[in-house]
Structure 1
Amino acid sequence: MSVLHYRRSRSERRYRRSGSQHHHRRGGSGRRPRAPRSLAFLAGSLAAGMLLTACGGSTDSGSAGSGDGEGDIGPGIAAPKDLKPFEFGRPAGEKPDLPKRIAWANTSDAEFFLQITNSIELAAKERGLEFVTAIANDDSAKNIEQIETFLQRGVGALCIQPLDANAQAPLMQRAIESGAAVMSLVTPPSTVQAVADQYKVGQAQGLAAAKYITEELDGKAKVVYFNNDTIEVLKARHQGVLDGLRTAGAGVEIVADVQPPAITQEGGFKALSTVLQKEPDIDVVLGGDTHVLGALSALESAKAVKPHMYLSGIDGDEQALAEVGEKGIYRASFAFAYPLMGYAWAQFAADWLEGKPVPQVMQFNAIELNSPETIAAYKADMKDVATTWKNAETYFTLLGSVDYEHRDQYINDAA
């Protein structure tokens, strides 16, 4: 199955079909994946439902662990809870008797997933861990089969992303009960969850647009926003964008706040083409990169591009960054440090196996990339994650603390 890519030259945009190179370390099948959602949409699908908050307060929630061995560790943290900032360098405690092996249950061979793969492998090698992985090609049944294989073989840590959360959860629970650390992208139950504060992500995008409207458009602008409100928790991002825009004052008019028919560039193209029929004089378009790139295509197709326009997206898609680098009307993309997340997972896995504490939450900071210079710096950081790890607080806010001895403090908001 081929993957639909939307390519643009300076003079035209066109759809083309191209194959995606199959790539994995071990496992997987030869079937081509569907055109994948971006990771930011995956993260958004559950992140705002996260039960933990970033406020100060005790990280203790009662029992420090049963101490009776694997398989009897209780329900985890299943109620709202405040978490303190994570502190590196705390003393080690009891060590698990588990293989020094980290497994990555990948679901797609999309480039950003492979960047995570490479980062996990790099840190695993540095810390003396065996690294195993498999790609499910968006096939839930294969994903579950691959995770089962990992668990039967034995792992010290399991890295996982959402594909079928209901099917994955029992296996994640089994891994936790075995004493392994489960590193997840937003889905519970897990030892460490990587999440995003969707309201803050949206607010950052709205505030940046408001600043441009105030400074460059005399405080007046007709705005189109592409929401994804059928993904329940992305409603928080939606509200953040609107609140950020309001700081520009009464001259901001939101002429369309719509959800495109699909999370594809074609969906964004169709949605903005429809808007332009009623509102031909728009000034600002905001949303995820996938939709906004499609909107840029629609503006070019309709010959409606004007130099003063402001478009921005969320995700840090490569094509969006290329547009920002051209210094045209695509002014910014808000990116997330997914390669650094992979590197962190393996570092924390190694710490876990040494009995050291690891954070319970890795909260993504949205990074505004609005110039060739900021893009170059971001890409350099993601290429050299081992060095960037020394300043990880730029890209993540680490919260809470848990170790093997107190492994009952896993996150389980599904309980």
Structure 2
Amino acid sequence: MVPRWTALPALAAVALLATACVNPGTGGTTTAAPSTGSGGAKRIGFFGFAKANSFAAATFAGVEEYAKANNATAEFLDPNFDAQAQVQQLQDAVTAKRFDVFVVQANDGAAVVPAIRSAVQAGISVVVHFTPVGTRYDTADPQVDGTITLVDVPTLNGEGLGKLAVQACESKKLNPCQVGYLEGLKALPLDNARTQAAVGVLKSAPGVELKAQLEGGYTQESGRKAMQDVLQKDPGIDVVIGASQAILGAEAVAKDKDILYVANGASRQTVEAVRAGRWYAAYYLPVKTLGAKAAELGLSKALGKQVPATNIMTDVDPGKSMGTKDALAQVTGEYDE
């Protein structure tokens, strides 16, 4: 049995993104190359959540594509959602001097801090990708000196979900408009920060009533169960927010209900549901493109170029994160659930 202190960070990765098959080879763009330096090909170590994770696989596809186009190599080091294993992989890679660049999707943002600090001290360019490294979830700024961030700030993500739900309520022209929030996992600090931000937006919006707030998880089954509980207590719910996987389950339970859904996800299936009008909106990120951007930042620094230390994912493809049908009109998504 995995001890609880390592199992919980593994849940954090699952909480962010569900495991599934992926076809990351389509979609996304490769950014223009930095000027190459002397000394041969640079080496990128991608410390992703897990190879079986669709989001991580699509991110690595972007990293690898950019590396190949820019005289570099890329390798996926797979901890399989195990935070302790990921820390060991980082430590071993620093000791062995295997890579010039680390791109890190931390399963436990606090646990990896010592290893990442050691990497910086060893002269490795470290890009913190998607989840913050450290204990704060309200900032994109590096929490380890010398690192580069390319993150989706959890509190900004929560605020975005709340704002989309308010827009959905406004479109229904109801007063009050009843909202159900299927939050992720209550045991996770990152999820709690996101939930608190979303709830703050909902509670401050005129005419919006937060009727249900319960754990929806990150699977269709957990979404079904949560939606059953919501409908039993509040059958007149108007808008439901949740992870894209949970929303798929919720939708299956409430087929005969006139509910607008707001999903936290960026898969092709999620984008299709929004563009088809089944769901009101989704918080969208171009996952493969962001992998290429991480590789660009890390390689540029390794080649001696000046790069910004703080980078926010929603700035890479502005105007798409608040993914209503209009905003996603030209978007297909860059990975599969």
Shorter-chain TM-score range: 0.7 to 0.9
Q: Distance in 1 between matches of 2:89 and 2:171?
A: 53
Q: Does 1:209 align with 2:155?
A: no
Map Cα deviations across residues 157-210 of structure 1 (whole Å, 9 max, x no partner).
111111244553333222111111111232143611223333332222222322
Q: 1:295 — aligned with what?
A: 250
Matched, 1:360 2:309: yes
**Aligned position for 1:114:** 57
Kept in 1, the 8 Å contact 2:12–2:108? The answer is no
Q: Which residue of 1 aligns with 2:30?
A: none
Pick the aligned partner of 1:172 from 103, 113, 116. 116
Which residue does the alignment assign to 2:257? 305
| CA contact 2:47–2:106 (8 Å) conserved in 1 | no
CA RMSD of aligned residues (A): 3.2
What SS does structure 1 have at the residue aligned with 2:254? helix
Structure 2 partner of 1:218: 174
Instruction: Find the counterpart in structure 2 of residue 54 from structure 1.
Output: none
CA contact (8 A) 1:199 1:237 kept: yes
- The one-letter amino acid of 1:154's match is R
5+ unaligned residues in a row in structure 1: which ranges? Answer: 1-32, 42-91, 384-415
Aligned pairs for 1:142-221 within 5 A: 142-151=85-94, 152-165=96-109, 167-185=111-129, 186-188=132-134, 189=144, 191-221=147-177
Distance (whole Å) between structure 1 residues aligned to residue 69 and residue 164 of structure 2: 39
Counterpart Cα distance in 2 of 1:38 and 1:172: 23
1:378 aligns with 2:324: no
Kept in 2: contact 1:269–1:298 (CA 8 A): yes
TM-superposition CA deviations, 1:288-338 (whole Å, max 9, x none): 2232222212213xxx422xx21111122443223223312x211111233
Counterpart Cα distance in 2 of 1:176 and 1:219: 53
Say whether residues 1:281 and 2:236 are aligned partners: yes
The alignment covers a number of residue pairs equal to 289
Residues 30-69 of structure 1 aligned to structure 2 (within 5 Å) = 37=14, 39=16
| Counterpart residue identity of residue 179, structure 1 | G
Which is greater in Rg? 1
Label 1:160 to 1:323 Cα distance change in 2 as closer, same or farther (>3 A).
same
TM-score for the superposition, normalised by structure 1: 0.61
3-state SS of 1:378 partner: coil
CA contact (8 A) 1:147 1:171 kept: yes
Q: Which AA in structure 2 matches 1:326?
A: A
Aligned in 2, Cα 1:283/1:138: closer, same or farther, shift over 3 Å?
same
| 1:386-405 correspondence to structure 2 within 5 Å | none
Q: 1:367 to 1:354 in 2, by over 3 A?
A: same
1:404 paired residue number: none
State the TM-score, normalizing by the size of structure 2: 0.74
The runs of 5 or more residues in structure 2 that have no matched partner are: 1-9, 19-34, 135-143, 315-319
Question: What amino acid does structure 2 have at the position aligned with 1:132?
Answer: E
Output one character per residue of 1:15-43: Cα deviation in whole Å (capped at 9) or x when no partner.
xxxxxxxxxxxxxxxxxx999625469xx
